[in-house]
Amino acid sequence: MAVVPRVFAGKGVNEGCDPNRAKLGPSGDHWFGTDLAGCDYYAHVVHGARPTLLIGVAVTLFAFVIALLFGMLAGYYGGLLDAVIARITDVFFGLPFVLGATVILVAFPGHGIGAMTLVLVICGWTTMIRIMRAQVISVRDADYVQAARLLGASDRRIMARHILPNALAPVIVVAMLNVGNVIAGEATLDFLGVGLQYPEVSWGLQLNQAQDAFVDHPHLLIFPAVFLSATVLSFLMLGDAVRDALDPKLR
């Protein structure tokens, strides 16, 4: 749905809008009713999936790459490099996710999907890097790693062939869970008015625009809220499924 929203919506996000038919309830012509501008709300909700999921997946991928690179280096080499990376991580880890993103976004207005992605990466990369570092530390002195080192394997080969495959599973699980957390965080920022701005379309923006009309027109808030909740729950369940698949001992 997020990849080809027009196929599911049957129209563009602003096609067929009629201000005289604004805020109509669900009907046969408009399954989810119409929005504040008289546009088909079903089409709006469907098109809102793309930026929401794009940000969630992109932020998680960038954070995952950062965790793999710096978590591996910190855990494998230790010493001063580990101390520096750990202290930087602690600084960002102590910054609340939504609050930190809000402060940055308020300071730099006029942001789009790219800026939102960058800000959420800055505020949300710490958990995965801490887990990656801990996993690398737990396996770097294992017998098979020591044997590879005695056989003359380079650090790069040891990290790629012996440490990474045995340290990656928990990070993948957290990454799956992180997509849902980022989606919820992005929607929260949009709802507060500091995230994406019109003419972007996202579920968080729809919730923001519906808050003043909720009492008389509850469909404006209910439908994007249901889609948002279902998406976040889906990624949380996916994370649990991946955890069980990669580590049966945690079932």
Does 127 fall in a domain?
yes
**pLDDT attached to residue 20:** 77
- Token representation of residue 11: 């129209």
Higher pLDDT, residue 38 or 207: 207
**Banded pLDDT at 7 (limits 50, 70, 90):** low
DSSP 20-75: GGTTPPP-SS-TT-B-TTS-BHHHHHHHTHHHHHHHHHHHHHHHHHHIIIIIHHHH
CATH at residue 112:
1.10.3720.10
Write the single-letter amino acid at 35: D
Q: What is the mean pLDDT of residues 147-154?
A: 87
Q: What's the total number of domains in the chain?
A: 1
**Banded pLDDT at 9 (limits 50, 70, 90):** low
Q: What is the mean pLDDT of residues 219-245?
A: 89
**pLDDT attached to residue 87:** 92
Does 33 fall in a domain?
no
β partners of residue 40: 34
Query: In whole angstroms, how far apart are CA 4 and each of 34, 42, 48, 79, 232?
Result: 21, 14, 12, 49, 20
In angstroms, the CA 39 to CA 134 distance is 51
**pLDDT attached to residue 66:** 93
**Banded pLDDT at 58 (limits 50, 70, 90):** very high
**pLDDT attached to residue 250:** 52
Does 11 fall in a domain?
no
> What's this model's pTM, rounded to 2 decimal places?
0.86
Domain that holds residue 142: 50-221+230-250
Query: Would you give the DSSP letter of residue 69?
Result: I
- Token representation of residue 133: 């570092």
Does 212 fall in a domain?
yes
In angstroms, the CA 32 to CA 46 distance is 11
Does 2 fall in a domain?
no
**Number of helices and strands (H, E) in the chain?**
13, 0
- Token representation of residue 10: 């049957």
**pLDDT attached to residue 196:** 85
**Banded pLDDT at 247 (limits 50, 70, 90):** low
Does 137 fall in a domain?
yes
Q: What is the mean pLDDT of residues 123-152?
A: 89
- Token representation of residue 238: 């996916």
Q: Is the pLDDT of residue 69 over 90?
A: yes
- Token representation of residue 157: 């080969």
Q: 96 exposed, middle or buried (CB, 10 Å; 0-12, 13-18, 19+)?
A: exposed
Does 73 fall in a domain?
yes
Does 111 fall in a domain?
yes
3-state helix, strand, coil in the chain (%, to 5): 75, 0, 25
Q: Is the pLDDT of residue 150 over 80?
A: yes
**pLDDT attached to residue 249:** 53
Higher pLDDT, residue 86 or 16: 86
